[in-house]
Structure 1
Amino acid sequence: MKRFALAVAAAATFALPAFAGPQFVDETGFAVSGYDVVSYRSLEQGPLGQSQPEPAKGRAEITAEWNGATWAFASEENRAEFLSDPERYAPQYDGHCAYGVSKGGKVPGNPTLWRIVDDKLYLNITKNVVGFWEEDIPGNIDLAQGNWPGIEDNDASNSTIPNFSSQAPVQN
């Protein structure tokens, strides 16, 4: 009976979205550094090993509050779409690097280093890390899903995203 209960608890954990705390917000003051998370869905993903197209920049006057953060959008339509199902559009692991979570820690996710897998948005921190993550995306997602519930907020790095402009991409 105890094994059955553990199996049910484990299955429920993997079925839940990867949100365990407040959204990561960098010095821009916006979730995902002010990029419009809905815009990722309209971009054509590049093949593994190649850079992804840059998502749209949000606008300072078109925002929404969710998961402890302010989110910026390129249009009112995108804001409405986000608010209809924020968990579909928000990056996994509260915007932290997916590969970092697979290794047991929280480091910032770079919004220009992304991939959508099984209808979920994942961010990584640097181009080198993207290479490691892409070596085994399903395996890294499995590891991250297992690690995420046990990673505490005090395990998070608040450092600036390497090789990423710290200027807010939000348009005025």
Structure 2
Amino acid sequence: MKTDILKILSVLVILASPALAGEQYVDGTGFAVSGYDVVAYRALPQGTVGGDQPAPVPGRADITARWNGATFAFATPENRAAFLADPERYAPQFDGHCAYGVAKGGKVPGNPALWRIVDDRLYLNITRTVAGFWEEDIPGNISRAEGNWPAIETVQASDSAIPDFTPAAPLR
């Protein structure tokens, strides 16, 4: 009887608690996506698979919005407004962590310079080599990452630095 009551109380506490979610990856800049404008990616011409992507657009430190536990910077007030209207569309998938890393079951930082938009979603990868592995099977890697994400989403955001990457400071 006592065990049954404890089980019921446990279920009630879980149901009454807010859902836990992971936080956005934030590097030493203090900004999500290292201070780059996540809306501006959509205006950039995408490189071919296996090729380089255009450089991301730095945001401005005075045009920001808070979402998912992080501060995002934007190049224009219009981009900030677009983000606030639909942050889930513009924010990088997997809270800014490497898409291939999530496909492999872990959280490592995503590099804003190693990006690709697939089905209107922004994906980041950690290194050029890893981006190459991810691009060998983009649909399969997205599927694996989406399957892995529920189990690792609530794990603390990566606190590692992005290797071989120096972010441009957000514009002042």
Q: Could you list the runs of 5+ residues in structure 2 that have no partner in the other structure?
A: 1-20
1:114 is aligned to: 115
- Aligned-residue offset at 1:153: 4.6
- Aligned-residue offset at 1:159: 1.1
Residue identity opposite 2:169 in structure 1? P
1:171 is aligned to: 171
CA distance in 2, matches of 1:94, 1:32: 9
- Aligned-residue offset at 1:75: 0.6
CA distance in 2, matches of 1:152, 1:73: 25
1:83 aligns with 2:84: yes
- Aligned-residue offset at 1:22: 1.2
CA distance in 2, matches of 1:21, 1:156: 6
Q: Could you list the runs of 5+ residues in structure 1 that have no partner in the other structure?
A: 1-19
1:135 is aligned to: 136
Q: Is the 8 A contact 2:99 2:110 kept in 1?
A: yes
CA distance in 2, matches of 1:132, 1:106: 16
Return the index of the structure with the highest Cα Rg: 2
Question: TM-score normalized by structure 1?
Answer: 0.85
RMSD of aligned C-alpha atoms?
1.3
Question: TM-score normalized by structure 2?
Answer: 0.85
- Any residues of structure 2 matched to 1:56-75 within 5 Å, and which? 56-75=57-76
Name the % identity.
72
**Count of aligned pairs:** 152
Q: State the secondary structure of the residue aligned to 2:134.
A: helix
Query: Hey, which bits of structure 1, 4+ residues long, moved more than 2 A?
Result: 152-157
Residue identity opposite 2:69 in structure 1? G
Residue identity opposite 2:23 in structure 1? P
